[in-house]
Amino acid sequence: MTVSDQEDLVAVAPAAPVVTAAPVTSMRAGREALYFARRNRKLVAGLTVVLLFLVVAIVGPLLTDHGPNEYVGPPAQRPSSQYWFGTTMFGQDVFAQFTHGLRSTFLVGLLGGGLAAFIGMLIGFTAGYRGGVVDEVLNMITNVVLVIPTLAVLLVIATYLRVRGVIPEAVFIGLFSWPWVARAIRAQTFSLRSRDFVDLARLSGASGRKIILREIAPNMSSYLFMTFILLFGGAVLIAATLDFIGLGPTEGISLGLMMNNAVLWSALPLGMWWWFVPPGLGITVIVGSLYIMNVGLDEVFNPKLREM
Amino acid sequence: MRRYFGRKLLIYAVTFFVAVTVDWMIPRFMPGDPIQTMLSRASLRPEANQALQAYYTNVFGLDLPVWRQYLNFWTALLHGDLGVSIWLFPQPVTKVIMRAIPYTLALLVPAILLSWFAGNKFGAYAARRKWLDNTVLPVGYVLTATPYMWLGILLAWLLATVAGIFPIAGGYSFALEPAWSWAFIGSLLRHWFLPFASLFLVGFGGWAIGMRNMIIYELEADYAHYLESLGAPRRLVRRYAFRNALLPQLTGLALQLGVIVAGALVTEIVFSYPGLGYLVLQAINNQDFFLIQGAFLFIIVGVLLANFLVDVVYVMVDPRTRTGMRGGS
């Protein structure tokens, strides 16, 4: 267990960073990070793309005066000046579906990723800081949830839900995708809790919660942030998978659901590329940019990796 | 060594227990009546509806006390009885799933092994080589960020619909009957290639990036600098780094298994490939709850077994645990 814990952090997810913990000298470190952040091409490019899509998600639906699932035009139209992304087999506007789908994507990522990060931190910090029996129990729970394939559980749950919305979907995703975070944070907390500054805080009578929040968490804040980004991307991918299997939201639209409909209604043999290319491309570009952003962040926070 | 495996096996046993319990609990404690949901889909005459209602109440055992239901569930499970499929009515779920498993394994096993192997080799090769690294990095990240089904859709569209090189759907040509003939095996391979390729590519990107990042960390480690300062050839240093980086990649493989299986499910759906994923899709469209629950258990057991295999390999590969096995300290 202990041998590989440190190594696990790196292997778990693409670009999972390794923490190089040193007591924070807050102001100067912040300004230094900002200095390197602005000069990091990967970070800037990734962030720009993600923000661009966010703007499309927010503004896009305002440009069309009809809902994403309304039958507005002639069926199976190629992209034109009137229907920018063409129409589906049933005459729905693909552009309207795409922009509304982007909203769902960001919602699932924020909510699902956020919840997973929260649970993971809660369990990781508690297990790592308390140790002993608490650690044993939490570790067991973590390992069990870690082995169970997230999608399989969601599959069974979603099947029995008659009305499915984007928000419950995000919550369920968050509830089952935290284990690797908990494990990684536990290992980090373990190594931090015997440091002098933590001992000092303990001697001064600070409570466990306060020590975790004020002394331990700030020392891996960059790591926590990067973890959230990875969870965001992961939640988006899981949601797309679930939607594609046919367990997506029963009302509204999502990018995964668009691909599901396209495949279900023979867009592939008919070559209606405008129906299935945008949703997948949207997901790929958003998640890919997030990953590349993370590499950039890693270089900003970890001087060893900076390109000189 | 005993302790290591004992601990792992305990975790797997608990996981299996939890999974079975979840599988049993969800239909019973979710809001709404599963039988009603199931029957409301099929518009039946009232008499037929009542008869089916009674039948399913009996099958689910909903008229028994809860603890009894739970025990019965386990007894049936240990006898390999997962209920009767509704979509393919009188066939037992176990049989339906067993028929699909070979197709899924034929996709998964080669895709996992080859992408892991090739990805690691390539990632290690690319690390710290300027131009290669600059191309591998973005391509790899785009590949891992690609949803499995989308890559499948793109390949199906480009290579099947547009170019017409590969068939677009099915496990073998509809014109053929399953038989041990060259024509049939050739058809199997042709239908197998695209779903395999999309699984392989997504995995390849992930492993290549993981290995590339690990190598860069390893090359910054003290032992690597020490070796370099001793004047060891670059190749030797890289070889040590590779071997050290391989272990976390192995742990990563165990952790990624669930995701890869999920990827296989959706890829099969894209290509209408007659494996577990296609079965799950049909089960969902036909509200075949038993089939979905059965598929869930099969996936869990498969992932647990694969995890155990990775544990065994890890012990064999890691010299630290190897010495432990021989009784050294």
Each residue of B277-306: pLDDT tens digit? 888 888 888 777 788 888 888 898 899 999
Q: How confident is the model at residue A305 (pLDDT cuts 50, 70, 90)?
A: low
Q: Is the pLDDT of residue A34 over 80?
A: no
Q: What is the reported pLDDT for B32?
A: 62
A187 vs A39, more confident:
A187
The domains of chain A are located at 100-308
Percent of all residues in chain B with a pLDDT value above 70, rounded to a whole number: 90
pLDDT bucket at A239, cuts 50 / 70 / 90: very high
Query: Which pLDDT does position A61 carry in this prediction?
Result: 82
Residue type, A284: T
pLDDT at A43 over 70: yes
pLDDT at A28: 65
State the average pLDDT over residues B188-201: 89
Interface test with A, best of B17, B159, B202, B213 (most A CBs within 10 A): B213
| Closest residue in A to B27 (Cα–Cα) | A160
Rounded to a whole number of angstroms, the distance from the CA of B26 to the nearest CA of chain A is: 7
The answer to whether B292 contacts A156, with C-beta atoms less than 8 Å apart, is yes
Residues B212, A291: Cα–Cα separation, whole Å: 14
Question: CA distances (Å), B240 to each of A3, A299, B130, B234, B244, in order?
Answer: 18, 24, 21, 10, 6
User: Region A207-223: what's the mean pLDDT?
Assistant: 82
* ipTM score: 0.84
The reply to whether residue A269 touches residue B34, judged by beta carbons under 8 angstroms, is: no
| Neighboring chain B residues of A263 at a CB cutoff of 8 Å | 149, 153, 269-270
What separation in angstroms does the CA of A179 have from each of A75, A235, B278?
45, 13, 29
Best to test chain B binding among A3, A9, A10 (most B CBs inside 10 Å): A10
- % chain A with pLDDT above 70: 88
**What is the CATH topology of the domain spanning A100-308?**
MetI-like fold (1.10.3720)
Cβ–Cβ below 8 Å for B153 and A268: yes
Q: What is the mean pLDDT of chain A?
A: 82
d(CA B53, CA B72): 20
Are the Cβ atoms of A268 and B11 closer than 8 angstroms?
no
Confidence of residue B321 (pLDDT cuts 50, 70, 90): low
> Are A160 and B30 a contacting pair at CB < 8 A?
yes
Q: How confident is the model at residue B41 (pLDDT cuts 50, 70, 90)?
A: low
Q: How far is CA A295 from the centre of its chain?
A: 15
Average pLDDT over residues A21-42: 68
Q: How confident is the model at residue A54 (pLDDT cuts 50, 70, 90)?
A: very high
Q: What is the DSSP letter of A69?
A: T
* A-chain residue closest to B319, CA distance: A3
The larger pLDDT score, comparing residue B325 to residue A133, is at A133
| Chain A CA closest to residue B210 | A14
**Summary count for chain A: helices (H), strands (E):** 14, 0
**Which of A280-289, B233-242, B267-276 has the highest mean predicted lDDT (pLDDT)?**
A280-289
Assign B324 a pLDDT band (cuts: 50, 70, 90): low
Q: Is the pLDDT of residue B263 over 70?
A: yes
Q: Which of A210-214, A229-233, B145-149 has the weakest average pLDDT?
A: A210-214
What is the reported pTM?
A: 0.86
Query: Cβ A151–B262 below 8 Å, yes or no?
Result: yes
Q: Cβ–Cβ of A292/B262 closer than 8 Å?
A: no
Q: Nearest chain B Cα to A146, which residue?
A: B255
Q: Which residue out of B141, B157, B158 would a mutagenesis test of the A interface target, given it has the greatest number of A Cβ atoms within 10 Å?
A: B141
B293 contacts on A by Cβ (under 8 Å): 156
| Mean pLDDT along residues A5-24 | 45
Q: Which of A160, A247, A295 sits opposite B27 (nearest CB)?
A: A160
Percentage of chain B lying above the pLDDT 90 cut: 9
pLDDT of A308 over the 50 cut? no
Q: Could you tell me which residue, A150 or B39, shows the higher pLDDT?
A: A150
From the list A162, A180, A304, which residue is nearest B255 (CB)?
A: A180
The pLDDT score that the predictor gives to residue B114 is 94
pLDDT score recorded for residue A26? 57
Q: Is the pLDDT of residue B133 over 70?
A: yes
**Of residues A120 and B133, which shows the higher confidence score?**
A120
User: So what's the pLDDT on residue A53?
Assistant: 93
| Minimum CA–CA partner of A143 in chain B | B11
Residue of B nearest to A287 (CA): B145
| Res A2: pLDDT | 36
Question: Which of these ranges, A23-27, A56-60, B261-265, has the smallest mean pLDDT?
Answer: A23-27
Predicted local distance difference test score (pLDDT) of residue A250 = 80
C-beta atoms of A263 and B258 within 8 A = no
B166 φ/ψ sector (left φ>0, alpha ψ -120 to 50, else beta): beta
Query: Best of B10, B131, B153, B218 to disrupt the A interface by mutation (most A CBs within 10 Å)?
Result: B153
User: Predicted confidence band at A11 (pLDDT cuts at 50, 70, 90)?
Assistant: very low
